[in-house]
Amino acid sequence: MRYPLMSAENSGHKPFLPDDAQMPEFTFQAVLTGTLLGLVFSASSLYLVLKVGMTVSASIPVAVLAITLFRAFSKMFRLRQTTVLENNIVQTAGSAGESIAFGVGVTMPALLLLGYSMDLPRVMVVSILGGLLGILAMIPLRRAFIVRLHGRPGQPGTLLYPEGTACAQVLISGEKGGSTGATVFLGFGIAFAHKFVTEGMSMLVAAVKVPVTFINKAAVFAGEMASELLGVGYIIGIRTSAIMMAGAILGYMVILPLIYFVGEFTPVAVPPGTKPIKEMGLGEIRNNYLLFIGAGCVATAGILSMLRTLPMIFRSIGSGLTSLKGGKGGFEVKKRTEDDMSMTVVLGGSFGLIVLLALFLASQVPLVSAVAGAVLVVLFGFLFVTVSSRLTGEIGSSSNPISGMTVATLMLTCLIFLALGWTSSTERVLALSVAAVVCVAASNGGTTAQSLKTGFLIGGTPKYAQYAILIGAVVSALVIGATLLTFNRAGTIYTQKDEHVPKNFTFTQVEVDRLQESETFKGKDYKLYDSRNDILTAPDGKTGYTPRKEILDFKGGPFLIDLATRKPEYLKDPAIMGKLTETDEGESVEREFEAPKTQVMGIIINGVLKRDLNWTMVAIGAMIAFMLELCGVSALAFAVGVYVPIQYSVPIFLGGIVRWGVDSWMARKSAGELKTDDPEAKAKAEVEAIRRSETNPGVLLASGYIAGGSIAGVLLAFFAFSDTLPRDIGQWQYAKVAVEKAGTLEELSKEAARKKLGEEATTVKVEELAKEIAGLNKAEGLLYQLVKVPAGTELTTAGKKNFQAAKETTLQELAREHLGRGYFAQALFQSNPGKLKLPESLPAGTELKLPQEKWPAVAWFLGLIAILGITGAGWLFSTQENSKQDNNQPTS
């Protein structure tokens, strides 16, 4: 049966405000507030996408915060109340930051995998051009997708834009007097405090790990007590979070233990590993094998999710072309609510952006390559902006497969480059740049569509919303690059260990002169070299450079090359996708930014253009994705679960369980309130109750959790919090055990573990705790504190202050006397190489610290879960506002 095309006219749509409504809309305070809130949510979204590869829509929390802030300011300073149209401008301007953060976070860190540093100009160009291109490309589609395809839920041939509709309900509720901003602020405060206490001050453990010994040593069940991930799980719901958890179980409870089991009986290294599996730690096994399986699964799932939407893609293109024709689909302005930006501005701006992109690329690659890259951006960009704008209307922003579109763009671009013979490292960077601009454009195009839908429902002026999101996108794009680089710098590790740095290798002066990137570290200038780019491995016809065999065999990086000796002095391990888990001082480091979808980009580029890919592992991952699709399960969420560490999937799953419980309770309550036994009426009531839960206090509290936890993480990364205060405050959690005999740290740790657990404890339990005790005390610098210092020894602090030991003592006492704290003994030891010697054994009576108790952190996190469930059920905040939202939603 063929259904008639819906439109605003024939659907009977009446916006909340009539066309002739006269009130402030595009005001300075609205644009400024929206832009500032956009910066906040862009930073938090970037944090999330680097951590777990996903974000959530910012429109609803921005709208709620706008209503609450403006209402508070009007009371405090006796200002006029803002209008619903101004609040719409705030949410529109603020929504751009989240989508740009996703595009940048997914693509730009892949530069590190290609052997280059992330440079601010490239990140800013990609952010600005991609963000603006996505908005301008979507504007001509507004009448086709938002106006002409408007209709009721369940009506064939319509686009609902679920997030845009929900946001309109929030704005209308605020206009009628229902404000739920307190819920967002409560969630923000709770999550901010939680993050600060756990990761900022180290007062509570941030994650819990439980070895699953009945499988084998490689099976470890872990959960990070992250409020922001709990909020993500609540918003995305039980199905997606459960699928993601299933992927984590397969990866970390099945595949990883299976690899370890096989490796126990394999005495040789299994490529791409460089040593036998039985000698590897869990992190090494994951990086060498599971990571590639997960990457193959993510890439294939992304492509399959896009192929599944091919019918929608073709309809999107057709509708987009139709919208460019004259008549009702054109740009003749009849009413305020139909007034779009000028077509001249849209087309002229789009053309100007493409020219600017070509000029930027031409500064780094040959002109032909730059023009080809710009042409591919035009083709793929406008295609996938159309697709993204349509898909967000059908399935919502959360399910929009932007990563699949990006993977498809990248693979097609790489195949085109391969056919043209463009396989150098500069062309690999060009391919990534094309995919990055398209990714940001597609992401922002979908967000623009959602925001314009909100304006359509409340009766806003389209061109003002379009101006607002353009401003918000530019400002967020200008800041996002610096945020990304700060995240990366804050957790970068520099190591001089022989196992990581080939210090016997010497570069020639010609090779050092060819290196283009440099860095200053500890006041000394270095050149940077990474063998993943071909600056020293490819012949250069212009200069006559030919690589020597030794440089072709040299692998690894990025290394800091000493300019005087021309030898590698440090390995630089970045915070994003870093591999090292311990500093040279023995301090354990948790790598926070796995960037799962970013690693897929690097694997595709190197796999296609360098033909350097672990195809066996990638193919296994691809087959897993195919199997899931055949079972009718969305493979993308599952693939992310396989890829990211299991501790990130657990809190997301817990959030999904809470949402399922709340929705089930609300559905039963709603059905029970009906004065009828009609099963169909009860079923409809249950469905309606679950639909209303999209904007209930639980969702807003979860949004606060996401914003608070993420912003706290951002601030901790920006300000590199005090090294001393967290250690000083967290000391209360550490119990101590005095050992009765002398011995090595490992021997005494076993004795301490036996004392803690009791004689009846199993050997496995004792060994597990002993390993934790040894690691903790090693990280705390116990061996350095017990170093014997003879009387008269001259020592120098890191600040170049000299002093002499007046008597024989320990390094801990000297550190306490001259540096204020005994645990600075480790830094003092390293400032005096060759003068002191670590003890081979620890004396009897040594006190060993026991690991922090986990129950306070678990209890705190269970409290967060309980608050989320209680709030979602309406027991903490009244659900009356939700009824208002439902009764006052725009008529269709």
Residue 525 lies in a domain: yes
Residue 568 lies in a domain: yes
Tell me the C-alpha distance between 243 and 847, whole Å. 46
Name the residue with higher pLDDT: 13 or 131: 131
Single out the residue in 438, 472, 489 at which a domain terminates.
489
Range among 167-176, 389-398, 719-728 with highest mean pLDDT value: 167-176
Q: Report the candidate in 29, 96, 34 with the shortest Cα–Cα distance to residue 64.
A: 34
- Together in a domain, 323 and 468: yes
Q: Specify whether the CB–CB gap between 125 and 103 falls below 8 A.
A: no
User: Is residue 461 predicted with pLDDT exceeding 90?
Assistant: yes
User: Is residue 117 predicted with pLDDT exceeding 80?
Assistant: yes
User: Is residue 387 predicted with pLDDT exceeding 60?
Assistant: yes
848 has which bridge partners? 737
- Together in a domain, 543 and 463: no
- Together in a domain, 828 and 768: yes
- Together in a domain, 306 and 358: yes
Angle between helices 84-107 and 28-52 (to 10 degrees): 30
- Together in a domain, 424 and 525: no
User: Is residue 740 predicted with pLDDT exceeding 90?
Assistant: no
Which residue range is the domain that position 520 belongs to? 493-573
Residue 722 lies in a domain: no
Tell me the C-alpha distance between 556 and 424, whole Å. 18
pLDDT of residue 723: 53
User: Is residue 475 predicted with pLDDT exceeding 80?
Assistant: yes
Single out the residue in 529, 551, 573 at which a domain terminates.
573
pLDDT of residue 202: 72
Single out the residue in 573, 596, 622 at which a domain terminates.
573
pLDDT of residue 438: 94
User: Is residue 365 predicted with pLDDT exceeding 70?
Assistant: yes
pLDDT of residue 16: 83
**For the chain, what is the domain count?**
3
- Together in a domain, 349 and 456: yes
- When pLDDT is cut at 50, 70 and 90, the band that residue 798 belongs to is low
Average pLDDT over residues 615-625: 87
Residue 62 lies in a domain: yes
User: Is residue 359 predicted with pLDDT exceeding 80?
Assistant: yes
pLDDT of residue 826: 76
Tens-place pLDDT, residues 538-560: 888 888 899 998 898 888 889 99
Tens-place pLDDT, residues 309-358: 666 556 655 655 555 554 444 444 468 888 888 888 888 999 999 999 99
- Together in a domain, 470 and 415: yes
Tens-place pLDDT, residues 486-542: 888 888 889 888 888 998 899 999 999 999 999 998 889 999 999 888 889 888 888
- Together in a domain, 537 and 477: no
Q: Report the candidate in 623, 634, 639 with the shortest Cα–Cα distance to residue 306.
A: 634
User: Is residue 686 predicted with pLDDT exceeding 70?
Assistant: no
- Together in a domain, 353 and 429: yes
Residue 497 lies in a domain: yes
User: Is residue 375 predicted with pLDDT exceeding 70?
Assistant: yes
Asked whether the CA dihedral 660, 662, 666, 668 is positive or negative, the reply is: positive
For 67-82, the three-class secondary structure string (H helix, E strand, C coil) is HHHHHHHHHHHCCCCC
pLDDT of residue 92: 94
Tell me the C-alpha distance between 399 and 643, whole Å. 18
- Together in a domain, 422 and 523: no
Structure tokens at 345: 């501005």
Average pLDDT over residues 142-146: 82
pLDDT of residue 3: 38
- When pLDDT is cut at 50, 70 and 90, the band that residue 884 belongs to is very low
Residue 281 lies in a domain: no
pLDDT of residue 733: 64
- Together in a domain, 403 and 317: yes
> pLDDT over 90 for what percent of the chain?
23
Residue 691 lies in a domain: no
Average pLDDT over residues 426-452: 92
Q: Specify whether the CB–CB gap between 459 and 21 falls below 8 A.
A: yes
310 has which bridge partners? none
pLDDT of residue 891: 34
User: Is residue 1 predicted with pLDDT exceeding 60?
Assistant: no
> pLDDT over 70 for what percent of the chain?
86
User: Is residue 2 predicted with pLDDT exceeding 50?
Assistant: no
Name the residue with higher pLDDT: 828 or 566: 566
Name the residue with higher pLDDT: 402 or 823: 402
Tell me the C-alpha distance between 711 and 58, whole Å. 13
Comparing 242-246, 394-398, 625-629, 674-678, the range with the smallest average pLDDT is: 394-398
User: Is residue 298 predicted with pLDDT exceeding 80?
Assistant: no
Comparing 110-124, 469-483, 833-847, the range with the smallest average pLDDT is: 833-847
pLDDT of residue 510: 93
pLDDT of residue 466: 95
588 has which bridge partners? 582
- Together in a domain, 310 and 390: yes
Average pLDDT over residues 651-680: 82
Radius of gyration, alpha carbons of the chain: 29
Average pLDDT over residues 12-22: 82
Using left for φ > 0, alpha for ψ between -120 and 50, and beta otherwise, residue 117 falls in beta
**Amino acid of residue 429:** V
User: Is residue 656 predicted with pLDDT exceeding 60?
Assistant: yes
Q: Report the candidate in 55, 306, 11 with the shortest Cα–Cα distance to residue 159.
A: 11
Asked whether the CA dihedral 727, 732, 733, 737 is positive or negative, the reply is: positive
For 843-880, letters b (16+ CB in 10 Å) and e give eeebebbbbbebeebeebbeebbebbbbbbbbebbebe
Residue 23 lies in a domain: no
